[in-house]
Amino acid sequence: MQDEDILVIRLGATCDLADVEEQQIYAGKVQGFANFGMFVQLNDRIKGLVHKSNMKTEHREKDPIIVKVRQIRPNGNIDLEEVQIQVYQVQNIEKKSTTIRINDLGTRVGKTVAIEGEVAQIKQTSGPTIFTIVDESGTQNVAAFVEAGVRAFPEVELNDIVKVVGEVMKRNNQLQIEAHVITALTGDDETAVRVRIDTALDARAEPEDIPLLVKSEVIESLRPEMKKIAKIVRKAVFTAQPIILRHHADADGICSAVAIEQAIIALIRESGADFDADYYLFKRAPSKAPFYEIEDITRDLDFSLKDHVRFGQKMPLVILTDNGSTEEDEPSYKIASVYDIPFAVIDHHHPDATIDKYLIAHVNPYHVGGDFGITAGMLGTEVARLINPKVEPLIRHLPAIAGVGDRSEAPERARYLALVRDQYSEDTCKNIALALDYEQFWLRFNDGREIVKDILNISGNITRHTKLVALLVEGANVMIEDQMSACMPHVVKRELPNGAKLFLIDVEIHAHKFTFPPPGKTSGEVHDRLCKANEGSPVVTIGFGPDFAVLRSRGVLMNIPRMVRELHVEIPGGGISGGGHLVVGSIKFVEGMRNTVLEALINKIGGAQVQK
């Protein structure tokens, strides 16, 4: 045989021991040395030993070398000998691997397979590099190891379309692919896979067309936008995009957010993600104000950017519920737009037209002729059912709790209460709503995920739920009565030109500070007592402090957001901002202008139409 006829095999990254033959010649690389010889890699998975008696020349680590396989021992060890040839032909051998979908991996444990998908996350651990790959059928972790703590396949980046070849293994009862090779696809190959995945995911993310829990013309009119948000959320879950869910920290906002939380968490777990993926791919966070404050976006950006850098995560989808519709949210949206963060809003505050340009979807009853009586808890629960219908048994009582907690007077409140009255009476719903408000006050900025589930009877332990709600309601009522005993003697009454009765209370000097109930709820409790004492009369209550006022109205047709905008123009140097619902809201101002602002506000209330 002439030298040029000698065939030297170069094994591809996917080849294993079964592809090695005795007496065959292979191209290899020197891996290291021992007293008895030299180790040679035939590829990243296969190595053998050249005994020192079979070494022809001196070598250094990583030198290329030609070797012949003398023997493959029963235990898998390979005996090699160095051969020296000058002219030869090289044949590259690649093991053919069947390209399969991620949801078929369970039938391929122990086998070498190929998958194609998008890189959704790259996490460097102290050992391997973990790539999260998404295809049209699911999500899969791929482990690649070079050496401890060293980034494998550094050329592969977030959002690349890749082909992964590796062995399907089980680690801690979860499927994992141990990668032999990860190749970033380009050109037509990349386009074909991306189009295939996008088309399939678009169809997979489409929500089921299920009926509402109750009849509602307003909510039915919102169905297209609710389905749009549900589809956006489903697609985010299927592509391993983190989700941040922000909500107002009251009973209505909590009910709305928890309903969506349950749907998302269940969907994350169903999609084949890690056992703890619902903690790093999803975050629920309460907002103190009924709008998305600068403090909120700062926290969310800090959280997201750190995870993006440390764990290779995508930037998040942010969902806002029971906030997000007003001009007060705009400064935060502007900051978020620098990072191209998408926002979807589910809210029942009176919307400002300037906001929609920042949003990819916006569910709000005012868009279809409704008002704030359709609460965020009602809307959030219906959206949650579209995201994942399987969670309905866990959350179908939440709209009733939200309705009574937010004092809704819409007919939908009675319908949602009737839906669950065999298990939750109206008084029970009121108690749960009060327990939520009370507990959230002490939780501050924490979500209290498991505590809140117990309060809402989602965790399944009815005994614990009953005991906890009873204790929280008892504690809340004691503190409310204590606050009212301090406040009520200091309420000041005024008659307005339109016939309304105005009541003023300085909650800064005539209420306990830094405790429950806070100023907003204190003003609401005062207002409820005054409404009962003045049955049949239009009543407005203003609870004020040095630089704020909280408004509650019954029977006076105000438009608080419009009043705030007018006062901002009419009182230069007042530093006026605020908003809320039409007849329930708040206003902020500079302390030195308090009297001027309050008198101007009272004049506007006195000129408002009174409900007959």
Q: What is the 3-state secondary structure (H, E, C) of 181-247?
A: EEEECCHHHHHHHHHHHHHHHHHHHCCCCCCCCCCCHHHHHCHHHHHHHHHHHHHHHHCCCCEEEEE
Q: What is residue 545's three-state secondary structure? A: coil
Q: What is the mean pLDDT of residues 535-561?
A: 94
Q: Which secondary-structure segment (H or E) carries 317?
A: strand 317-321
- The CATH code that applies to domain 491-610 is 3.10.310.40
Is 3-93 a CATH 2.40.50.140 domain?
yes
Token digits of residue 525? 């409790």
User: What is the reported pLDDT for 1?
Assistant: 47
CATH class in words for 206-423: alpha beta
CA-CA-CA-CA torsion sign (34, 40, 46, 51): negative
**Domain range annotation of the chain:** 3-93, 102-204, 206-423, 491-610
Sign of CA dihedral 211, 215, 217, 219: negative
Q: Is pLDDT above 80 for 373?
A: yes
| Whether the predicted pLDDT of 60 surpasses 80 | yes
412 vs 138 pLDDT, higher one: 412
- 172 vs 333, residue with greater confidence: 333
Tens-digit pLDDT profile for residues 6-51: 899 998 877 778 889 999 999 999 999 999 999 999 987 789 999 9
Residue 273: its pLDDT value, please?
62
For the ranges 83-87, 487-491, 574-578, the one whose mean pLDDT is highest: 487-491
Percent of the chain with pLDDT over 70: 98
pTM: 0.82
What's phi and psi for 229, nearest 5 deg?
A: -65, -45
Q: Is the CB of residue 158 less than 8 Å from the CB of residue 121? A: yes
Per DSSP, the three-state class of 27 is strand
Are 3-93 and 491-610 equal in CATH topology? no
pLDDT of 144 higher than 70: yes
**What kind of fold does domain 102-204 have according to CATH?**
OB fold (Dihydrolipoamide Acetyltransferase, E2P) (2.40.50)
Q: Which residues pair with 579 in a beta bridge?
A: 586
Predicted pLDDT of residue 581 = 81
Mean of per-residue pLDDT scores for the chain:
93
Q: What percent of the chain has pLDDT over 90?
A: 80
Query: Mind listing the pLDDT tens digit for each residue in 157-193?
Result: 999 999 999 889 988 888 999 998 898 999 999 999 9
146 pLDDT band, cuts 50/70/90, is confident
Q: What is the pLDDT of residues 220-236, one digit of tens each?
A: 999 999 999 999 999 99
Angstrom distance (rounded) from CA 587 to CA 596: 13
